[in-house]
Structure formats: C-alpha cells, structure tokens
Amino acid sequence: MEKEGFVRSMDLIKSKGLKIAQLVTDRHAQIVKYAREEMPNTKHYFDVWHVAKAIETRFKKKLVALSKKKDCEAIQPWIRSMCNHLYWIPASTPSGNCQLILEKWESIVNHVQNIHEHDGQLYTECAHGTLEGRERQKKWLTPGSKVAERFSDIATSTQMKKDVQKLSPGAQTASLEGYHAVINHFAPKMIGFSYHGMLSRLV
C-alpha cells in the first residue's frame, strides 16, 4: 500500500508537467528500488531521523550487548554519540557529497580511539578543536582492542555505509510525519471508515 501510494503520488506530480529533482523518503525497500529503477534522474535521499532510528533499534542493540561483555564496558558512553554524529554529518555537508558524508561517518571509528586524523580523501581530520572538560569525560577505546574492532565492524557494516551515503543534507520528512500524526488522531488506522467518513475526518 505504501509503495502504491508513492507511485500514484509521483505519477500525479509528473502529470502536471513537473520534474522531480530531489526526493526524501524513509528507508522503505520497495520505494528505494522503484526510485532507483523508475526515477534515474531524481536524487533520492533518506530522512536522517529514519536512519538514526535504525541505529537506535538495530545497531544500538548490538552495541548494548557488546558493552555488557568483559573488557567492552567502555563502549557504553559512545552509543549516544554515534547517533549525534549521524545527525551532524548531513547538517555539516550541505553539498550532499556522498563520499564526504561517508568519510565523515567512518571517522567515528578513529575518533572513539582518540585518533583525529583520517585516511580519507576529503575528510582528513576531525572538525572539532581541542577537547576539554565535559567533552573529554568519555574514556577512549584502546586501538586494536576487541571492543574497538567490534565497534568498527558495526559502524562500517555494508548496510550502514549504503544508508549513510543517502542522508538528506537539507529537507527532512518531519513535517509530513507531524501531519500524519494529526490524521491518525482523527482517523485511526485500526478503524475502517466509509469513503465519506474518511473524507470528513481528513477535512
């Protein structure tokens, strides 16, 4: 249903003679495939909140489980920082350069080990200055340690790198999510309404 609604919406926009230069959606697999195959001239981005949500559900569970293992407790304070870093990346890359976005994301693997210079072509050092006070409260991971290597595996997984490169540097779907929340209040999904009943509630 979600894909069908998306396809109809795109068809309506195109029928008005408009060209879709950029598209921002969640990570819905069918929509991603459709946009890739049927809209090759449209730049498709992911809403940052939806990618962060994936980190907080899928990757956070892995990191929390890792933090409970022996000699891996130091990872716990970095879990929240990982999500914050994800929000900072597109906000600090208005050009939407996917290679730069990817290199900024991968830099977190070095940063948590107190390494602030990187091997990237576009992002060669952390953007922060000298870390002092509250910024230095978290314990660094020991380079080459089991926890550092496991953190690297999770942060640089193939799926994560794919998603990060498509982060939207500008528009997000928050306003649409807010609209849907209002609609759900007056027309709950778990109740079936007649056409006129639904129309009245939407209006």
- 100 backbone φψ class: left, alpha, beta (φ>0; ψ -120 to 50): alpha
Which H or E run includes 162? Answer: helix 158-164
Q: Max Cα separation, the chain?
A: 64
Is residue 105 a contact partner of residue 92, using CB atoms and an 8 Å limit? no
Is the dihedral angle over the CA atoms 78, 82, 87, 88 positive or is it negative?
positive
* Residue 121 tokens, joined: 């072509």
Residue pair 82/112 in contact (Cβ under 8 Å)? The answer is no
pLDDT digits (tens, 9 = 90+) for 42-61: 999 999 988 888 777 777 77
pTM higher than 0.85: no
Tens digits of residue pLDDT in 174-195: 888 899 899 999 999 899 999 9
pLDDT tens for each residue of 58-101: 777 777 777 788 777 778 888 888 888 989 999 999 988 999 99
CA distance 165 to 99: 7
